[in-house]
Amino acid sequence: MASSSKRRRVLPWEQPVLEQDRQIRELQRKVEERHRQVEEWQRQVEERHRQIGQSKSILAEMQQSLWEEEKQLKKGRYGDPVLERSVVESRERIEQQMSFIAKQEKEAAELEVKAAEFEVKAAKFEVKAEEQIQSFKAEIARIELADTSTGDDYYDLITNLGAPSSLTNAKNWRRAQEQLLFLCHIPPEAEPPFPLTLVHRAFANFVDRFHSSRIEFGNQECELVTELCIVAAKDVKDEKQKMEEFNQLIGDYLGEAINQVVVASSCTTDGSLLVKKYTAYLSEVKKDEVNTLFQAMQYYALFLSKMTRDETKRTFCPCFLVELVGVCIRISGLAFFSKVACQPLTPFMHCYINSYDTADMDSLCRAMLALKKGVSELREYYNAHPNPPPTVDKRIPYPLQEQQMQYVKRIGAQKLLFVVEMEPSGERRLCKFCKRYGKGVHETWAQAGLAPKLFKCGEIPGGWIAVEMEYLSPDDWKSVHQWCNNQLPEIDQSRLWSAVNSALQRAFNLECEMEYLSADDWKSVQQLCSSVSKRDESALLLAVENAVKSVLKLKHEVAHGDMRPPNVMARAVEGGFEIKFVDFACPCEWFFLLEVIFLTGMRSFLGLSIMNEHVVYFSLSVYGHPRHCSSDNMIE
């Protein structure tokens, strides 16, 4: 008898998500069908050209035969009626063949025009389809983040997974992820709505402390890491012994006991630290290498299931997760949107005592110090909560919540772009979070009326840059390709492109003054110079340093760096169009070319290209042959 697989019921909130997903798949199918049709057109064009080639080969043979017949006539066989008639017939056949080829070429040209027209239409359809797909994905994200009454359904699915320890088995966690119960990037589409370093300041501060070489750790961290390495490397048969020793170490360091907590029948955590009802710290300890991530996420979800739905809606429930697996340790962040989300904050780090190379142990010390401060921040956060805590809007990152901005919408599910409303004015602004941004370029172009007004642009914890700018309402402003897809009359298209070209010319003639370049970034210059001799290296470093210090004080022309139609916005005005450029995440200024004479007499040129205030690209030309640096030689 064939076994029948039991299909799970579709949750109420999943119905619109499934419909949006169906429409995405249908659009993708139509795009693929257009691609197949384009390929068929191209195949037909190629077939016509192949036929023309064959016809021309036949023509060449006919011309060769005629040439031989005419050659015989010239040898004195004039008057031969059979040969003369054959020559006449050959000439007629050649004329017919040439007419046939001309007809084939005309048909091929017409076919090429039709194929090109269809390809243009297919490309436009693909652009529109991609816009709709992004819109559908954004709607899916909105639905999944919306405050609904589906929490019980989600927790039912979590509790029905079985014991958390069963999720160390790949077969079991893969089955769980068929429903995308955990937002942990496994599979790739199981992605949190935005990075956890934008969920809570404690996660962002942790990342900054862990990656900063300026963070000073003390004897307490060194002693902890030494003991940690001993515990991790100890060959124990009883996993419980390893867990207890680890909990004792971490508890003594944090100043609070790390306890095992029963969260469900026969389900006990390896280690937990609770603040009120909330979990601030969770750990998984295994003596052998297994996948502990999904086990830990289910424990966290079971903690949440014990809270009221109102309590879990009012906060992201941030928590640090520590996994000690064999001799490796990793620290991650846990948070709750409408599902449990997890993001590693460190890689897996080896717990080895290496007296010859202390770099790994230094990383462990920074990680432990960052964990201690992070848990302390979460403790303060939860203790400061009134009862009930104030509701947070889980659709926007914490920096916007701290400014009491009201969520309006998110632009694109894959972009950290948020339209918010200022209180009490009601003014709408666009907020963007990115890793690098050309503040100077944006300000310069905005002052010239060529970009949205820039209100704020600055670094925030976690390596992020928060940008707050004027919102260009879609009621008036559309991207250039949106205008073109609306099938503007030819005269309006001409005016549009004329306005774009005029704005570009004005923009690229503007000058921008750079602000600073971090002194720590000179280590990357040394990597660039590693292929030259020591004497030449010192000369090059000195020349680069002097050049950058002098050039940063100058004003220089700039380039946008990502000048694509979606980043060119246009608004119809009387007699034409007003143009503004957006997305200054990768502007660049080619501003200097320095001739360097090395001590050896080698003559070279060094080109410097700045992408915003932090990133410099180098291009080295030796004996006139350019050798561009790779991204590994980039200062950032």
119-165, pLDDT tens digit by residue?
A: 888 888 888 888 777 777 666 665 555 444 345 678 888 888 888 98
Arithmetic mean of pLDDT, 188-202: 93
Which position has the higher pLDDT, 14 or 383?
Answer: 383
What pTM did the predictor assign? 0.67
Identify the band that residue 330 occupies on the pLDDT scale cut at 50, 70 and 90: very high
pLDDT per position as a tens digit, 428-458: 999 999 998 888 888 888 999 999 999 999 9
Tell me the CA end-to-end span of the chain in Å, nearest whole number.
63
Whether pLDDT at 20 is above 80: no
Q: Which residues 6+ apart lie within 8 Å of 424 measured at CB?
A: none
Q: What is the mean pLDDT of residues 185-204?
A: 93
Give how far Cα 398 sits from Cα of 274, 348, 366, 383, 401, Å. 22, 27, 25, 18, 5
Residue range(s) in the chain whose domain bears CATH number 1.10.287: 14-145
The CB density around residue 41, as the number of other CB atoms within 10 Å, is 19
Summarised one tens digit per residue, pLDDT across range 458-512 is 999 999 999 999 999 988 998 887 887 766 777 788 888 888 888 888 887 776 6
Are 387 and 399 spatial neighbours (Cβ–Cβ below 8 Å)? no
Q: How would DSSP label each residue in 567-608?
A: GEEEEEETTEEEEEE---SS-BEEEEEEEEE-TT--EEEEEE
Query: Does residue 528 register a pLDDT over 50?
Result: no
Half-sphere exposure of 376 (CA within 13 A, CB side): 11
Report, in angstroms and rounded to the nearest whole number, the Rg of the chain calculated over CA atoms.
34
Q: Which residue has the higher pLDDT, 330 or 238?
A: 330
Q: In the predicted model, what is the mean pLDDT of the chain?
A: 79
Higher pLDDT pick, 73 / 180: 180
d(CA 50, CA 63): 20
User: What does the pLDDT read at residue 178?
Assistant: 86
Please give the CATH number for the structural domain made up of 14-145: 1.10.287
535 Cβ neighbours under 8 A, 6+ residues apart: 598, 599, 600
Could you tell me if 202 and 466 are in contact, meaning their C-beta atoms sit under 8 angstroms apart? no
Q: Measured between alpha carbons, how far is 404 from 423 in angstroms, rounded to an integer?
A: 7
**pLDDT value at position 598?**
37
